[in-house]
Structure formats: C-alpha cells, structure tokens
Structure 1
Amino acid sequence: MARARHEASWTDEDAVVKGRVGRNRAWVLLALFAALAVLSTVTFNRFMNFQDVTYQLRSCTAPLTQESTWDEVQAAACDPVPAAGAELTLWAASHERPADATTGDSWTFEDVPVNTAQTSMEIRLPQAARSVVLAEPDNEVVRRELRPDVSDRRWTANVGGRGPTTYWVLVTPAG
C-alpha cells in the first residue's frame, strides 16, 4: 500500500482509524434543535412580557374622552363600583379570553401579553352608558376611548401595545 506524502513513514496499518465518520451527528443535531427551541421560547416570553392584568370598574359623574386630561378624570369623581352585572372580555390574537377572576370591582386576567398591540377589550354593561374610557392610573393618562354599539351597552376598543398591568374602566352612565 502506498503512503500519502503527509503521512508519517512510521504509521502502522493498525494505527489508522477505521469506521464510519459522523455516526454521532444525530445527537448533535438533536441537542442543537432543543437548544434553539428553548432559546426561542424564552425570547418570545420575554418579548411579549406575559403578566397578570387587572381592570377596575369605576363610575364617573361627567363624560370623558380620549383627549381628557388626568385633572378632568379626577374632577369627574370616578369611584369604584361593583363589577356584578358587567362583563369584561379580552381578545388576544383573535382569541376570546374571559376574566380568570372577578372580585368586587375588578377583573383579573392571567398571563396576558402586555407588549403586543393585538389585545382588544369588550365590556358589556347592564345599563346604557354615555361614555367609556380606558385609563392608566399609574401613568395618570387616558389610554383609549371605547366605541359603543347601538344600545350603548356594549363598548369595545383596542388596548394598544406595551401597556401597564392595572387599568381603570371609567364609565359615565347615560343621562
């Protein structure tokens, strides 16, 4: 048998590695795929920022709009009212999500992606309302003005992206 130029002259025939190359490639590919799946999941969860979100129902004495200032919100004397009879639903990525818990004047939704603009809300009230707005008490701003249906009892709006975890739903009862 002829030897290659780069091969040492003292190499014995029994010292040459024989067998199939790459028989352990399946484990490497499987480990790489698993690492990629874990990294993708962690990145998605951090990016979407899944948290519990609370909406508190409050009744106001004066109508509010999306352009209302926080001073106007405080002047409207928006006090907490029982959520009994009203129903709040979130729509996240076209999937309806009823509240995970309702306590007194609040609805709590668990594991809501707060960093997405795909979240919308719908509130159904037992009586007609004059106006409904969504406010951020921590930032002291009105976030959205909800749109009514014909009966002024069902109100909807897009919540918007990168929101807080506490909202006020400010309702001004009809006349």
Structure 2
Amino acid sequence: MIVAGETRSAYFLQEEETKVETHTLSVLVDNEPGVLARIVGLFSGRGYNIESLTVSEVEHEKHVSRITLVTTATPQVLEQIKNHIARLVPVHRVIDLTSIGDAIERELALIKVSGTGEHRVEALRLAQAFDAKTVDATLESFVFELSGMPADIDRFVKLMTSCGLVEVARTGLAALSRGKDGL
C-alpha cells in the first residue's frame, strides 16, 4: 500500500513482481493421446517446473480428463502459463485453485518403514497419531497409507526417517474448489 507523499523506487517494485508463488492449477481436457505431452512440453519448453501432477478421466462418456498440477512461478509467469495452457485445442478450462482460494487439497502416500523393537513400536505409534492405515505388515516392516495435506505427509515422512524409513510413493495433489460450482 502506498501512502500519500511516499516515494518508492523502481527497484522495490521489481522485487514485488519477482516474488515466487506456488499455485495449484486444475485443467479440464479432452482425454485423447498427446494432450498430457503437449501440456508438459509447454512447461519444459519454457523452463517451467511441475512440482506435482495428477491426471485421470473424470467423465467417461464425454472422454474428459482433469489434470491437476502444482507449479511455482512469479505472478507474471503464472499468468503466461495459464494463458498458454488455455490456448491448447483440447483444453476446455483452466482454473487457478490457489487464486480463487479455499480449495480442498489432498494427496495419498504409501510409506514403507523397516525396523524392530522400539523403532517398530514408535512407527506404529506415529502412524496411529497421523491416522495412517497399515496396509502391509511383516515381522521386519510396515507399509502405511496416509491421505491428507501434503505438508502433513511431509511431516509424517520426516518423523518416519528415525524409525527406519525405506521408501515413499506419492500420488501427487488432487484438488477441488469448495462450493456448489464445478470446473
């Protein structure tokens, strides 16, 4: 906010424009060969990074898929990304779920932990605290299933490191806007 009589340098304005933000985009597309490759190619050709990507057909009769992707960019670059995606022929709609606010975001992870004794007991205790479901158990290991906010999954994985974390598989973000309207 600029106060009357206040002067600001152009350097300060440039700093605001280069602030990097993470956004979740939801893209409705025709489910046909090459669509995902074209969108991913758009990102790689311009040097943009995709941090999370999920794709699934959501309307079988109409052959329509939803692509949910997370990217980090400046506001100006983000607008370019959305405009480039929207211009692709098989794209029906592009929604920036972060900009409209209050989106519901969830991710699924499978976490394998190996250990015995106290490490095994601690892994089970932490899994219970995070409401993680045990989907496989042997005498030496567990595989936990955890669904939730990506930050919660990150915390769980970090805590499991001291309990004998072996490997992690994550689905990527699934997101919907709140309210009665759809994409």
TM-score class normalised by the smaller sequence: under 0.3
Question: Structure 1 length as normaliser, TM-score?
Answer: 0.27
**Structure 1 or 2: more helix by fraction:** 2
Question: Structure 2 length as normaliser, TM-score?
Answer: 0.26
Larger radius of gyration: 1
